[in-house]
Amino acid sequence: MNRRNWMKVAGASPALLAAAPPPPPQPSLETEIVRLKLKHTWTTTMSSSEFRDTLYFRYNSGGLTGRGEGAPIVRYKESAETAKRAIESIAGMLQSADPWKYRKILRDVFAKIPGEWAAKSAIDIALHDWVAQKLGTPLYKYFGLDAADAPITTFSIGIDTPEITKQKVLEAEPYPVLKIKVGLDKDEATLEAIRGVTKKPLRLDANEGFKNKEEAVRKINWLEGLGAQFIEQPLPAHMHEEQKWVRSKVHIPILADEACLRAEDIPKIADAYDGVVIKLDKTGGLLGALQMIDTAKAHKMKTMLGCMVSSSVTITAAAQISPLVDFADLDGNLLIANDPFSGVRVQQGKLILPERPGLGLVKVSG
Ligand code: MG
């Protein structure tokens, strides 16, 4: 019964007024742009910055708050402002929907909003958090997963001068596997600095930085000799045929990141890569990520959960499904100085999932 009918009935009969339950209050929605400050200036082949803005989304209903976050990816022409506007444009639809039917809601959201995958992810995460909190169960249990299967995460060493790079490697002592950005002129100096202070296995990400297939093969074979386990996206995403050639000339696995955003992309790139990088901000949330993991496995490809620079909201959400993947690169929250929440923790590199209901977040500041 909607509010107007209820008022009519109530006005017509005092007896009915006592019997009729009040309509449930509508959920309240909040969006907020949060500026995350990086501990170190962050440099990749694409950008260099000292902070990142992400979009927080809160879904308040029945005394519980479902929390979501989206970290918009500049490469796909998204920003925190466009994400905020996208959510606000469908606020009425979200407020009138039943959160228990969240898969149906998300289908409608995806149909209504073109692009804006970070905004979609924020909505998806918040609804999952709300539903699992309401059930009183951690999200990974809701998905039927075993927290003991959560993988080790890499810890990223941002590109810097050799001296600062060495310092960062020493600070990363608790993490058994390091992730290094390559594809820049400084690669040799960076790798020399790192190998000067550690023998840890390295996972590499070129972010489309190698200019041609010959350079990619030369660099990858050199990096393999330095202990690289695998490399992400050596060539620009569109260079599919060149990537197939590179794959035939090297030994270590090559993972697609920029060349593979969602499950539907996997069949198109499966003959050129050995695995895929799954990010909630690319897939539009947990449902899209689960679909991507299953599709990759069906193509006998390796899976890695990755992330953008974001707070413990996104990282904890991704960690909840990490028992399903081969590798994790979920360190976005470890790179920031003002994380508003704590959730997933890392012990000797292993992701430790919270036992609290939903995402299991605890507010720590702000
Ligand atoms: Mg990458």
Report how far ligand 1's centroid is from the alpha carbon of 204 (Å): 9
Side-chain-side CA neighbours of 179 within 13 Å: the count stands at 22
Number of neighbours of residue 78 by Cβ within 10 angstroms: 21
Contact 327, 29 (CB under 8 A): no
Per residue in 166-212, pLDDT (tens digit) is 999 999 999 999 999 999 989 999 999 999 999 999 999 999 999 99
pLDDT tens digits, 115-166: 999 999 999 999 999 999 999 999 999 999 999 999 999 999 988 889 999 9
Ligand 1 centroid, distance to 84 Cα (angstroms)? 25
Burial class (CB in 10 A: 0-12, 13-18, 19+), 63: exposed
In angstroms, the CA 260 to CA 361 distance is 30
| Whole-structure pTM value | 0.91
Q: How far apart are CA 128 and CA 142, in angstroms?
A: 10
Other CB atoms closer than 10 Å to residue 266's CB: what's the count? 22
* Residues 184 and 67: beta-carbon distance below 8 Å: no
Contact 67, 313 (CB under 8 A): yes
Specify the residue for token string 């309401």: 134
Can you tell me the distance from the alpha carbon of 291 to that of 323, in angstroms, rounded to the nearest whole number?
Answer: 15
Neighbour tally for 184: CB within 10 Å? 15
Ligand 1 center to 232 CA (angstroms):
6
DSSP 146: -
Distance in angstroms (rounded) separating the CA atoms of residues 95 and 340: 26
CA of 233 to the centre of ligand 1 (A): 7
Whole-number Å distance, alpha carbon 237 to ligand 1 midpoint, is: 11
Cβ atoms of 290 and 322 within 8 Å: the answer is no
Q: pLDDT band for position 45 (50/70/90)? A: low
1-28 residue pLDDT tens: 444 444 343 444 555 555 777 777 889 9
